[in-house]
């Protein structure tokens, strides 16, 4: 038997989750956000399943050209726009759409020799203070860009800073956006996954869901409607009893209080399991919740299986996250977010595709 770890990707779950987004935002078009190699799931694989989306959103021309090379003829949005003036040629040539977030990008556009009109998404900074024009600068920028119509066609967008955390700040951002754009007759886009789920007023013409398509970042009330796409699986490769007061793993950070059965599963930070996951982080062994104990190693984790001593055996299946155990819960335990864990599964982990309508 080879090393028993794999990332199982349920293709049907991707299609299902996209349909759920349609139900939540029935009056909006959908940019399926598939940057960072489809949040680690493989961009071609994900795009195939999400082909009924109205377009794909990615981080760069490079990511967009991978999709074009694979034959996708969808609308494609560059969320950070272009990184140099000459990329505008590629945008035109490959029919991409670009965010414009800064004055230098506006200047590149004004100087560009554009034959076929380019769809431009002007980003308004409504309070995130990362990319985008401040409300003070926005009108001037729009006037400049309007001067090069119809070589470009205008759209407006913004991004939430804490759509899943602060209802108050989110409402403020939405108010700024509405105030600045209500008299403009351009298509608008604001909502990420969190806002798709709980802020209907922010849906506008285009929503931009990412994480929810992969079945993560789901609010409690929608939990049963979405399915985890990726299930990170491995198996038990060792079982041994230790005595009270004996410690487990590097640094001896966990000590047995009772005689304990310690299972070893073949997964570690070399596979993308977070090293910062502390003792107590849940895993599923034979579908039952157990807890990891001691430090995460490069290739292994150690699990307290004392309560399952009667049934557990070598080769039993272990789920690190996915089906039955949300990646968000593991992320929370490890002090990070599901996005980082999904993007962080490493090259050595084989991917296994399944296509299961039930989960
Ligand atoms: C990544 C990204 C999204 C998607 O965010 P999720 O939280 O994954 O839904 C939407 N808009 C922009 C600008 C992004 O960078």
- How do the pLDDT tens digits run along the chain, 359 residues long? 699 999 999 999 999 999 999 999 999 999 999 999 999 999 999 999 999 999 999 999 999 999 999 999 999 999 999 999 999 999 999 999 999 999 999 999 999 999 999 999 999 999 999 999 999 999 999 999 999 999 999 999 999 998 787 889 999 999 999 999 999 999 999 999 999 999 999 999 999 999 999 999 999 999 999 999 999 999 999 999 999 999 999 999 999 999 999 999 999 999 999 999 999 999 999 999 999 999 999 999 999 999 999 999 999 999 999 999 999 999 999 999 999 999 999 999 999 999 998 76
Report if residue 6 sits inside a domain. Answer: no
Q: Which atom of ligand 1 is nearest to the CA of 159?
A: 13
Report if residue 85 sits inside a domain. Answer: yes
From the list 232, 330, 323, 235, the residue with the least C-alpha distance to 276 is 330
Same domain, 98 and 234: no
Distance CA 11, CA 49 (A): 6
Same domain, 22 and 166: yes
Report if residue 276 sits inside a domain. Answer: yes
Report if residue 177 sits inside a domain. Answer: yes
pLDDT of 166 reads 81
Ligand 1 pocket test target in 32, 59, 63, 79 with most atoms within 8 Å of CB = 79
Same domain, 252 and 168: no
Same domain, 138 and 246: no
Q: Does a cis peptide bond (omega within 30 degrees of 0) precede residue 90?
A: no
Report how far Cα 109 is from the mean position of its chain's Cα atoms. 30
pLDDT of 21 reads 98
CB 6 within 8 A of CB 323: no
pLDDT of 165 reads 79
Same domain, 145 and 260: no
* Domain boundary residue, one of 160, 187, 216: 216
Same domain, 200 and 264: no
Same domain, 259 and 153: no
Same domain, 169 and 237: no
- Rounded CA Rg of the chain: 23
pTM of this structure = 0.97
Same domain, 189 and 280: no
φ and ψ of 190, to 5 deg: -140, -40
Report if residue 2 sits inside a domain. Answer: no
Q: Name the residues annotated as catalytic.
A: 35, 250
pLDDT of 1 reads 67
Structural domain that includes position 242: 230-354
Distance CA 141, CA 138 (A): 5
Report if residue 292 sits inside a domain. Answer: yes
Same domain, 168 and 246: no
**CB-based pocket (< 6 A), ligand 1:** 33, 35, 79, 159, 192-193, 208-211
* Domain boundary residue, one of 163, 189, 216: 216
* Domain boundary residue, one of 190, 216, 242: 216
CA–CA distances in Å: residue 23 to residues 28, 47, 153 = 10, 20, 29
Segment (H or E) for 9: strand 6-10
Same domain, 315 and 350: yes
Distance CA 205, CA 305 (A): 51
Distance CA 347, CA 350 (A): 8
Q: Is 16 helix (H, G, I), strand (E, B) or coil?
A: helix
Segment (H or E) for 320: strand 317-321
CA–CA distances in Å: residue 16 to residues 32, 67, 89, 207, 326 = 13, 22, 36, 17, 17
Dist. CA 208 → ligand 1 center (Å)? 6
Dist. CA 266 → ligand 1 center (Å)? 32
Dist. CA 192 → ligand 1 center (Å)? 5
Q: Is 307 helix (H, G, I), strand (E, B) or coil?
A: helix
Report if residue 242 sits inside a domain. Answer: yes
Dist. CA 113 → ligand 1 center (Å)? 30
Report how far Cα 151 is from the mean position of its chain's Cα atoms. 33
From the list 269, 294, 263, the residue with the least C-alpha distance to 349 is 269
Domain count, the chain: 2
Report if residue 260 sits inside a domain. Answer: yes
pLDDT of 358 reads 75
For the four alpha carbons of 214, 56, 188 and 141, in that order, the dihedral sign comes to: positive
CATH number at residue 310: 2.40.37.10
CATH number at residue 184: 3.20.20.10
Same domain, 246 and 290: yes
């Amino acid at each position: 038997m080879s090393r028993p770890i794999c990332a199982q990707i349920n293709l049907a779950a991707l299609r299902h989750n996209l349909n759920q987004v349609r139900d939540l935002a029935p009056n909006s078009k959908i940019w399926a956000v598939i940057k960072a190699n489809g949040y680690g799931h493989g961009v071609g694989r994900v795009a195939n399943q999400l082909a009924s989306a109205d377009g794909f959103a990615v981080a760069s021309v490079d990511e967009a050209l991978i999709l074009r090379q694979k034959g996708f003829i969808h609308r494609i949005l560059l969320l950070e726009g272009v990184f140099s003036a000459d990329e505008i040629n590629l945008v035109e040539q490959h029919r991409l759409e670009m965010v414009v977030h800064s004055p230098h990008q506006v200047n590149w556009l004004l100087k560009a020799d554009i034959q076929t009109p380019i769809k431009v998404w002007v980003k308004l900074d409504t309070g995130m203070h990362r990319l985008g024009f401040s409300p003070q600068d926005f009108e001037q920028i729009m006037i400049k860009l309007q001067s090069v119509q119809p070589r470009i066609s205008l759209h407006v967008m913004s991004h939430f800073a804490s759509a899943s955390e602060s209802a108050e700040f989110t409402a403020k951002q939405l108010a700024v956006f509405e105030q600045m754009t209500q008299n403009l007759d351009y298509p608008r886009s604001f909502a990420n996954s969190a806002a798709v789920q709980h802020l209907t007023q922010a849906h506008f013409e285009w929503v931009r869901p990412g994480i929810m398509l992969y079945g993560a970042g789901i609010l409690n009330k929608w939990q049963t409607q979405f399915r985890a796409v990726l299930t990170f699986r491995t198996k038990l490769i060792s079982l041994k009893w230790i005595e009270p007061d004996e410690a487990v793993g590097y640094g001896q950070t966990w000590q047995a209080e009772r005689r304990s059965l310690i299972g070893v599963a073949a997964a570690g930070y070399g596979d993308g399991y977070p090293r910062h996951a502390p003792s107590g982080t849940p895993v599923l062994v034979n579908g039952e919740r157990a807890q990891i104990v001691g430090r995460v190693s490069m290739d292994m984790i150690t699990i307290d299986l004392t309560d399952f001593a009667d049934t557990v055996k070598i080769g039993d299946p272990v789920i690190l996250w996915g089906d039955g155990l949300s990646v968000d819960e593991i992320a929370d335990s490890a002090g990070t977010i599901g996005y980082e864990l999904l993007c962080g599964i490493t090259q050595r982990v084989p991917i296994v595709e399944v296509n299961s309508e039930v989960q």
